[in-house]
Structure 1
Amino acid sequence: MLRYFRKTWEKKREREKEKEKEKEKEKEKEKEKEKEKEKEKEKEKEKEKEKEKEKEKEK
C-alpha cells in the first residue's frame, strides 16, 4: 500500500515539475516578445528621426 502511495506521489511531483518548466518557458517567451516589441519601437523612433532630418534638409 505504501509503495502505491509513494509511486503516485512521485508521479504527481514529476507532473508538477513539468508544469513549472512549462511556466518558465512561457515566461521566457513573453520576455522575448517584449524585447521584440521594444526593438520595433526603437525602429519606429529611428524612422521618425530620419523623416525629421529629411524635412530639415528640404528647408
Structure 2
Amino acid sequence: MLDTLGIEGLLGVVLIVLSIVLLTWHDPIVGAAVMILVAGFALVAKGIADSVMRLFGMK
C-alpha cells in the first residue's frame, strides 16, 4: 500500500480515519453519515480512475 499511496497518501488516510473516529465518538449518527459519505467519494474516485485507465488502454 505504501508503494501506491506514498507517505503523504498514507498520512492522509490516517488523518481521515482519525477524524472520523473523533467525530463518531462525539456524535455517532453524524459519524456514521460521514463514513458513508467518505465511502461514496472513494467509490466515485475509483470509478473515475478505472475510466481513465481504460481510456489509456491500461486495463
Question: Which structure has more RCO (C-alpha within 8 Å, separation ≥ 6)?
Answer: 2
Deviations 1:6-51 (A, max 9, x none): 0000000000000000000000000110018xxxxxxxxxxxxxxx
Q: 1:6 aligns with which of 20, 24, 28?
A: 28
Of all paired residues, the percent bearing the same amino acid is 0
Deviation at 1:5, TM superposition (A): 1.0
Structure with a larger share of its residues in helix = 1
Structure 1: gaps (5+ residues): 37-59
**How big is the alpha-carbon RMSD for the aligned residues of Structure 1 and Structure 2?**
2.0
TM-score scaled to structure 2, two decimals? Answer: 0.51
Q: C-alpha separation between the residues in 2 aligned to 1:35 and 1:9?
A: 39
Structure 2 residue runs of 5 or longer lacking an equivalent are 1-25
How many residue pairs are counted as aligned between the two chains? 33
Max radius of gyration: which structure? Answer: 1
